[in-house]
Amino acid sequence: MSTDVLLGPDGRARCAWVGDDDEYRRYHDEEWGRPLHGDRKLFEKMSLEGFQAGLSWITILRKRPRFREVFAGFDPETVAAFGEADVERLMTDAGIIRNRAKILATIGNARLVRDMADGELDALLWSFAPPPRPAPGAFADVPATTPESAAMSAELRRRGFRFVGPTTMYALMQSGGMVDDHVAGCWRAA
């Protein structure tokens, strides 16, 4: 068996990044790479991917319930109304990533999403999804960015979004199922 897949306790071969962590295994099996739609869900994913920049995803995954709580379930309308008192409240919450720039970006991005038509964020993000491709043979074959993630990033930045760089947007494309990067041999690979 390739070192890029790992046999789990249930006998299923998975992408090796899952390791032996139950939360990662659940995330891998039930979320990562599955098509995600809806402005609110994609706003949450965009926000969490922005908070992840420079950190490990498992850190964000473990803090996700608290993120959802303090960011009002990532409802763009509610988050868009956050003010300085909310920023200060969030800066003191050890249950999330206390990075002022990322918090301000999330609030600013919520304002942009709020001002979009229903379904516009979903349509915009999915417009950059590349055609399906074969499962990568190894993690070494998985890019950090693609022309599509760079184009998505550029368009979002043009519209005023922040913490949406090409690498972050490729991670969103992976986690939101716009691309399927489960490696060959993984039970979830296409």
Tell me if 186 is assigned to a ligand binding site.
yes
Catalytic residue, from 27, 31, 126, 187: name it.
Answer: 27
CA distance 124 to 118: 11
pLDDT in tens, the chain (190 residues): 578 999 999 999 999 999 999 999 999 999 999 999 999 999 999 999 999 988 999 999 999 999 999 999 999 999 999 999 999 999 999 999 999 999 999 999 999 999 999 999 999 999 999 999 888 999 999 999 999 999 999 999 999 999 999 999 999 999 999 999 999 999 999 6
Is 57 one of the annotated active-site residues of the chain?
Answer: yes
Catalytic residue, from 24, 32, 44, 49: name it.
Answer: 49
Helix (H, G, I), strand (E, B) or coil at 52: helix
Pair of tokens at residue 119: 């379904």
Is 49 one of the annotated active-site residues of the chain?
Answer: yes
| H/E segment holding residue 174 | helix 166-175
Q: Return the CATH superfamily for domain 39-176.
A: Hypothetical protein; domain 2 (1.10.340.30)
Pair of tokens at residue 169: 């947007």
15 forms bridges with which residues in the sheet?
5
How crowded is residue 41: how many other Cβ atoms within 10 Å of its Cβ?
Answer: 14
pTM of the model: 0.95
Cα 92 to chain centroid distance, Å, stands at 24
Tell me if 15 is assigned to a ligand binding site.
yes
Catalytic residue, from 57, 126, 155, 187: name it.
Answer: 57
| H/E segment holding residue 67 | helix 57-70
Is 77 one of the annotated active-site residues of the chain?
Answer: no
**Residue among 178, 180, 167, 135 at smallest CA distance from 41:** 178
Ordered by start, the domain boundaries in the chain are: 39-176
